[in-house]
A and B are shown apart, each in its own frame.
Chain A
Amino acid sequence: EVQLVESGGGLVQPGGSLRLSCAASGFTFSDHYMDWVRQAPGKGLEWVGRIRNEASHYTTQYAASVKGRFTISRDESKNSVYLQMKSLKTEDTAVYYCARVTRYTYDYWGQGTLVTVSS
């Protein structure tokens, strides 16, 4: 059974940093790109970024709204993907989901982790 479990969310002050994790199981992690998607309270879905697999040289891509502040990485030995967030703003408050990329879109999502940026 494919499972994606996010962790690391919480309350952080504006300008602060936070690192989210997504632990994957039930599939061959190295075969897949992985994305982060977020959803602000009561709002729609916003793509955050992507990390490709080794075959695609672990390249990353980011939404303009987070580029330069967020970094996606992955650890094949732990079957995990990470989202390092810096210089956080109040508008980064959202539930953050990781999603498995298959055929360039998503087939599985994690349950999400809430990040609240507030003083």
Chain B
Amino acid sequence: DIQMTQSPSSLSASVGDRVTITCRASQGISNYLAWFQQKPGKAPKSLIYAASSLQSGVPSKFSGSGSGTDFTLTISSLQPEDFATYFCQQYNSDTVTFGQGTKLEIK
């Protein structure tokens, strides 16, 4: 299976900051990479697919980039509702795998 490694595992930031989360695949996955946001006790929410395409209704403050093995999720101008856990997912292979998650906390 393709392993997905996110960094950092946790991140403290302030309202108004811009943050970047990284996801690395154990082998090339082209652009078959998605990002999800999850708040405590809630289902994940889909943010980005194909590494850089926003899901419908997702604000443009979220952006994704990368191809091959290295990907980033950037969130600009953090607001209180953005503090959550973020997961990457590869869907290049028949077996989908997720990163371990990055918890974004308020500083």
Contacts and interface: CB of A to CB of B under 8 A. Distances in A.
A104 B29 CA distance: 13
A111 B56 CA distance: 19
Contacts of A63: 95
A44 B96 contact: no
Determine chain B's interface SS by DSSP, over half rule.
loop
A103 interface: yes
A110 B43 contact: yes
B94 A61 contact: yes
Contacts, number: 55
A109 B46 CA distance: 8
A95 B89 CA distance: 18
B99 interface: yes
15 contacts: A35-B96, A45-B44, A45-B89, A46-B98, A47-B95, A47-B96, A61-B95, A64-B1, A105-B49, A105-B89, A107-B55, A107-B56, A109-B44, A110-B43, A111-B43
Interface of B: 1, 32, 34, 36, 42-46, 49-50, 55-56, 87, 89, 91, 94-101
Interface of A: 35, 44-47, 50, 61, 63-64, 97, 102-112
